[in-house]
Structure 1
Amino acid sequence: MAAMHVLHGLPGFDWYDGCFLAKFEAARRMLAIVRPGESRRFAAAFDTLRTRADFEVRRVHNVLPPARFADFLAQLRAVPASSLHGHERGDFGRRIARDLPILAELQLELMPLVAELAGEAVEPCYTFLSLYDGAGTCAPHLDAPSAKWTLDLCLAQSDEWPIHFSSVVPWPTSDADGNVPATTAFRSHSLRPNEALLFSGSSQWHYRDAIPDAGFCHLAFLHYHPAGCADLVRPARWAAHFDMPELAILDAVFETLRPDRRQ
């Protein structure tokens, strides 16, 4: 009954990748009802996934030596077309591929650099090859904390295509309505091939306007989360991690009532 109650009263979190925050807020609210003494402990455990307020986007020039970068691009061009999926063309104007071995290798190689720029030890999560075409766009959103840190590597483009970031903000919870707060200010950043930006997508609203002049932009996203947080970034593990069976019930009810919000 508590699970049904909190889910029916939950805010929208209707942006791309908003499912994590929906589940976090639902769990926090339900524990406040069924385990009042544990709700604060549960929420505090996620502090390590929050981003320090003074973090700013970091730029990396010449991510790879020129010859290595050219070889890297050649290997990506050899990826079979069957590995690319077009199910995000309608929302983003892109074809995608997740967790290609070549990107996973690069992700591990660059992990020390990301840790240095982020100011904390990190672990690799997933990777994402994103091939935007002339319909490319990216609506304002926050990422799930499994992508607390993202190294956004430009591979090739027809022209520079800015991405816009807010400063670090607290996770939206009870007042979330799926919209960026009207007072949010953004800064724009552009990349050239073999340049990258490190940002904190789970605590920085970010977006891209429609790509200009029917161009294209090919990007690789290497996602990382803080070291030791694999259980925290996966809601399905919360019940076992916190020894709270109620969270497994909540997750099952969530998937039944809100199947369109699966992570």
Structure 2
Amino acid sequence: MTGVSITERLFGRADPGDRRGPETDAAVSRKAVSLAQQGHLGEAIACFDRVLAEDPANVKMWNNKGVFLDLLGRDQDALACWEMALSIDPEFAPAWVSRGMLHRRRNRFDEALACYDRALEINPDSAVAWYNRSGIFVAQRLLDEAVACYERVLALDPHFVAAWTDLGYARFLQHRHEEAVACYDRAIADDPGSVRVWSLKGGALYALGEYRKSLECFDRVLSLDPKYAAGWSMKCSVLYHLGMYRHALACADKALEINPSCELTTQVRKMLVGLIEKW
């Protein structure tokens, strides 16, 4: 799964109940995200502490502080923040989602699912909760259940790029490759610069035997990220199937230049060298 960004886990962006003035909940959250992106997680957490010193009942800031503590791997401290939020407002669905995400990453699937289900009891129209719920089923390879969650997400938010991407991958795993390509196209329509989505689309087209179209996808991938070793490896495979062995070899060399430890690409390179020497 592509996951949910930090900002999608934060709350207090523009709600009518936000505090007013230069230090609104939204402004504090934006500042914290900026600090986190610069690697200053401690300073980001301090932003929330300053608000909570003045407004200890601010459930949004308790949730957001927990999110950043979670990013630091401080599980118990993060859980304590969400417990505090829920002691103030047991119906604050975002804190249930945040708790679920921590449990999911620790492979505590039952606990995570219970958290998401509680969030959805409170807010059945939470696309983020439905999306995260799908991750439990993907991890357990219960693809039909995961697909049902993705479809619910997209009924609520047709522009939820991560859901289109992950629905495409679920369809790929179900060997429904044409449907996978259609999902990736929907994701690309909203995020044309995603290396991951172009790469997944290329893989689905490759599985369909659409090698020319697959090659176009990997060319796009490499135009977006020339140092993406897996993109060079996949382009190598496509060119091999097109009989373009010397071009394939050049791609294998490029992939190994970036990632010399890839055994599969090393094996493919040896095979290509053998084929070329026979000519």
Indicate whether the TM-score tops 0.5: no
Which protein has greater RCO, CA pairs closer than 8 Å, 6+ apart?
Answer: 1
Structure (1/2) with the larger helix percentage = 2
Select the structure of larger CA radius of gyration.
2
Structure (1/2) with the larger strand percentage = 1
Q: TM-score, normalised by structure 1?
A: 0.23
